[in-house]
Amino acid sequence: MNNNQMATLGGGCFWCIEAIFQRVEGVNSVVSGYSGGNTENPTMEEIYGGDTHHAEVIQLTFDPNIISYKDLLEIFFVMHDPTTLNRQGNDIGEEYRSIIFYHNDDQKKVAESSTKNFAAKLWKDPIVTEVVPYKKFWPAEENQQNFFNNNSQVGYCQVIINPKVQKLRQEFSSKLKAV
């Protein structure tokens, strides 16, 4: 019986959070894409143009018998900075905002609680993560999918993503897939 659930999260560059959640036990698939805007089936060029109001997100399917939504959100809040509005590191713009798109009332409750109780204690600055209802997701272009795994030697991957993957291994070793 398949009881997989879906989660849609934005924490800056989708390449970064895609690489993180691909390594988490119980996560069955991760797709990079766009959500939260007003343009149907947006392209990357439209997103970076700034008028679509979409965020770069990942949409993942997970087995709640292996990893809970709460655990996913704890990883999410540790692995990106939820205190910087429309920014992660050098990536600046609305598309890089911290956002949780909940798929049902249970996810909404967990997201609100995690934001207020877990993230707020983890970070000294105020949490700016949006918690909003999920509406629509558009997968990013094929060359944007599985980016770190396919391009690990590229400078951005080495300097920005690889340290996050190393942090994930240190902070959440018990929640990672066997290599």
Average pLDDT of the chain, as a whole number: 95
C-alpha span between 120 and 46 (Å, rounded): 33
Q: What is the pLDDT of residues 55-94, one digit of tens each?
A: 999 999 999 999 999 999 999 999 999 999 999 988 899 9
C-alpha span between 121 and 88 (Å, rounded): 20
Domain range spanning residue 138?
Answer: 5-175
Mean pLDDT check: name the lowest of 24-38, 41-55, 92-106. 41-55
AA identity, residue 132: V
AA identity, residue 128: V
- What's residue 51's pLDDT? 85
Q: Say which CATH number the domain at 131 has.
A: 3.30.1060.10
Q: Is 16 a catalytic residue?
A: no
Inform me whether the pLDDT recorded for 128 exceeds 80. yes
Q: What is the pLDDT of residues 99-117, one digit of tens each?
A: 999 999 999 999 999 999 9
Considering only CA atoms, give the Rg of the chain.
15
Domain count, the chain: 1
Higher pLDDT, 69 or 1: 69
- What's residue 89's pLDDT? 87
Q: Are 52 and 129 in contact, with CB atoms under 8 Å apart?
A: no
The model's pTM is: 0.96
Q: Which of 7, 9, 13, 20 is catalytic?
A: 13
